[in-house]
Structure 1
């Protein structure tokens, strides 16, 4: 179906190694022969996608507002994502085409590694590489399915479109693919994760934080099973089990303390400290091609769409919260007021021509952290068949102690209930910025057992929004809980993203559709 369907061929996956000819033999069809443990290990460096949909996700979420035509727009894709339009720009990795290409290229590298291991007889010595390849394949498909498909719902997943799940390298010129169902895609991710986890071995890596080390793999598993909801709620127990493996018995020592970042006065220093590989909170660190640090960061560009003061005061950093207002974020947020931000991700520019200022924009991101895994566990405690509010409250206090300047938190169950009972839902459509609150209308897969359960989820989603600010996770929470939000638009009525809105699944790249893969319905 042409190269635009899947860029996961062996040749594509191995182009990354064109500079490694000293140990890669070239076959007649210009592919590299991967036939040693060293080559397989090296190939897996390319099994991590060079793109992540953070810009699309943040623009589509309720973290962003329209500041009006007086201000500039960085890219067409930025505006289209905010307006929940099909993104037809294909200029960089912040667009659907770039994400699609990068993810399937990473999948191709993982599949080639797995095939090479098989051809070598599946020796036990290559189990760590096999585990890394499997978990990388699952992760890239997880990114794709959460971008281009609806959120998983066990009642509808068998009828929803999935994405092509690649388990072998491409070897033909015009292969034919189908998207399959959402249920099938999640089942295959599940199988890869379960096969990978027993094989992961941290001894394989010189710098484990740049690979799916054991804790990062279990953190991914915890998040996946939080998303992979089952009718009997059994997967919530898996979330707790895997999060426990990440957090261990001395959990507080591994969490990120945001007050420690307040010693820095320069945004660059905060960003460098946030992604520091020596910080135990950072479980996986990856580099992606992206303009996102420029788009959301503390610069006077792309001021048209951003987390402006009304969003910040009503819903994020400056909003009232059950853990109080003396929090570290307030010491580190930067203006301009059209896009107030916490500078967790900074831009790293790779020059290819310094004279003409030409090169590539890079961001270093933290896809998995102990803080976020802790909040996954807290949510699982609340949503499992028999809710455990005591454990959920303990986790919320552990997290809140990381963001308060005092380093402590003494929330009680009743305080959490009272706080969210005492505020109004944000109206939909939003007709006044002053009506913004941290409480949104939720439409969960399973109806809440009572108001207490709902209020705890409001608290956890509130905490997740703070913890995961600027990294795209808010959009995934909006999808998972079918949260109705509205975007203001200059000169027009607010646009409402309703529950089960088809626009919650970002449209496939146009070239992929043109090549024959079924488009998302609109």
Structure 2
């Protein structure tokens, strides 16, 4: 292994994937693993049921925290960073100088730490998943584990592999609708572990799959997961922090939404959403919590949480990365504020309970109150909530059927637990055209998922929408140009948006493949995103 690493610069993603291999079954010197610190070589990692289980847990560990460019734990890719980076790419938060300004102002370069760390840790996660898939298949062939357990473990690894590849697509590739048939460049979809010199060579020669090929492979992985994973686990927090059948289906509704495949969103959504209110799921017992506050105040404690990434007191993203300290003010650092653009929007009613329950202020600005533990950083990072599934399904129904009543009911199920004034609640009479209902669903997504890292995904997928296009990256508010009076829920924001919009056609809409990759990978160097 050392001889392989010596041949390649230490920051290249292929090398990072090799490093991910050795860590997947070993303790990490930088920080405490979420799993017991038993260390053993790959050759013996899949020789006992306990070691196989620990190797699988190592994939979740890689999802929670890969090494940042300086070797520290800042929650890359999914412990915290995906949420923070996606929000900072949009206009509904403000980067309070200067922690997220490169992402917020889109001044990144090929060697920017955020883009580099995201690429490297996502591919390290993918490699861990691939190592485990191959190792589990070997353990099954050698009689170490049962066929059912092998399918479950592979399903868990393929779920995380799919999640990681999609995160890469929305940062480093144009959206599915960019070309007819999505034939434009995506990212390399890696399904083989990098653990021999021959495989290093193979990976260096693998170019970018098309976006369609990537999405097809994501669906393939998630369908395997759906058919292989249990509906739930007996341990309480594993029901949320480990992949399940319902989580695979829920993620498929998101993926098909990005593909503009409304009929498939509906097909998948109907598997876990009942036909009528209160829209409980027969798979995984998912349901909306009674209060919009509950999924956050109870952390892992409600049936609304479909899949979250665990953080705990021993392994978390710390003061330089944890979602609680980034989004919270006093005692958090408050480096990501709520923007008056969304706070003042007319679609967010002044008496909406999400204003009082899920936001707070320090007399200077408003901040999210979704993450409550800036002292020990144990807040779970919510990757998928059931409310997302309901709104994914609502949008697909509204785009398919004129003024669809079920779409309205799904929208109201999410919205009315926060909008309790009857006069402010929607009826079908509020919508003159089908597009007005779709717009209301899109507006609700911005409010419901504020500070959960969904805004960039919607900007990305809607950029090519013929009716609801975001036009690119919207203009944003500079924190320096605000006062506390800028936040006024009764008046739409009319102040300065000095962070200029970036049109969709601009090369900066997508991130570059990092320099650490292109320096050592001639194939991807030749396939760099244009102008970068």
Structure 1 and Structure 2 fold alike (TM over 0.5): yes
* Structure 1 CA distance for aligned equivalents of residues 49 and 309 of structure 2: 23
The number of aligned residues is 443
Q: In the alignment, what sits opposite 1:81?
A: 103
Q: Is the 8 A contact 1:61 1:478 kept in 2?
A: yes
Q: Give the secondary-structure state (helix, strand or coil) at the position aligned to 1:153.
A: helix
Q: Is the 8 A contact 1:103 1:141 kept in 2?
A: yes
> Which residue, 353, 356, 374 being the options, matches 1:328?
353
With over 3 angstroms needed to count, the CA separation of the structure-2 counterparts of 1:337 and 1:87, relative to structure 1, is farther
1:495 to 2:500 alignment: yes
Q: Give the secondary-structure state (helix, strand or coil) at the position aligned to 2:394.
A: helix
Q: Could you report, residue by residue, the CA deviation over 1:234-264 in whole angstroms, capped at 9, with x for unpaired residues?
A: x322212222333346526810333665xxx
Q: Could you report, residue by residue, the CA deviation over 1:330-375 in whole angstroms, capped at 9, with x for unpaired residues?
A: 223211365412311245566xxxxxxxxxx675211111111100
Alpha-carbon distance, 1:5 to partner: 2.0
Q: Is the 8 A contact 1:157 1:183 kept in 2?
A: yes
* TM-score of the pair, normalised by structure 2: 0.74
* Structure 1 CA distance for aligned equivalents of residues 36 and 178 of structure 2: 48
Alpha-carbon distance, 1:278 to partner: 2.3
* Structure 1 CA distance for aligned equivalents of residues 506 and 209 of structure 2: 21
Q: In the alignment, what sits opposite 2:291?
A: 258
* Structure 2 CA distance for aligned equivalents of residues 461 and 22 of structure 1: 44
Q: Report the more deviating stretch, 453-462 or 241-250.
A: 241-250
Q: Could you report, residue by residue, the CA deviation over 1:284-339 in whole angstroms, capped at 9, with x for unpaired residues?
A: 1203633443333224887787324x324433xxx344xx5432112232113654
Q: In the alignment, what sits opposite 1:293?
A: 324
* Structure 2 CA distance for aligned equivalents of residues 377 and 98 of structure 1: 33
The correspondence of residues 56-95 of structure 1 with structure 2, limited to 5 A, is 56-65=85-94, 73-75=97-99, 78-87=100-109, 95=114
* Structure 1 CA distance for aligned equivalents of residues 505 and 185 of structure 2: 14
With over 3 angstroms needed to count, the CA separation of the structure-2 counterparts of 1:503 and 1:456, relative to structure 1, is farther
- Structure 1 unaligned segments of length 5 or more: list them: 67-71, 230-234, 262-269, 351-360, 418-451
Q: In the alignment, what sits opposite 2:392?
A: 376
* TM-score of the pair, normalised by structure 1: 0.75
- Structure 2 unaligned segments of length 5 or more: list them: 1-7, 28-34, 65-76, 281-285, 312-316, 464-469, 482-496
> Which residue, 351, 362, 369 being the options, matches 1:343?
369
Alpha-carbon distance, 1:402 to partner: 2.0
The correspondence of residues 67-466 of structure 1 with structure 2, limited to 5 A, is 73-75=97-99, 78-87=100-109, 95-121=114-140, 124-125=147-148, 126-153=150-177, 155-156=179-180, 158-173=182-197, 174-175=200-201, 176=204, 177-202=206-231, 206=235, 207-229=238-260, 235-248=261-274, 250-251=278-279, 254-258=287-291, 271-273=296-298, 275=299, 277-287=300-310, 289=317, 290-299=321-330, 306-308=337-339, 310-315=340-345, 319-321=346-348, 324-332=349-357, 333-336=359-362, 339-347=365-373, 364-384=380-400, 386-387=401-402, 389-405=404-420, 410-417=425-432, 452-466=433-447
Q: In the alignment, what sits opposite 1:266?
A: none
With over 3 angstroms needed to count, the CA separation of the structure-2 counterparts of 1:328 and 1:488, relative to structure 1, is closer
Alpha-carbon distance, 1:409 to partner: 7.4
Alignment RMSD: 3.2
* Structure 2 CA distance for aligned equivalents of residues 341 and 364 of structure 1: 18
1:478 to 2:459 alignment: yes
With over 3 angstroms needed to count, the CA separation of the structure-2 counterparts of 1:325 and 1:184, relative to structure 1, is same
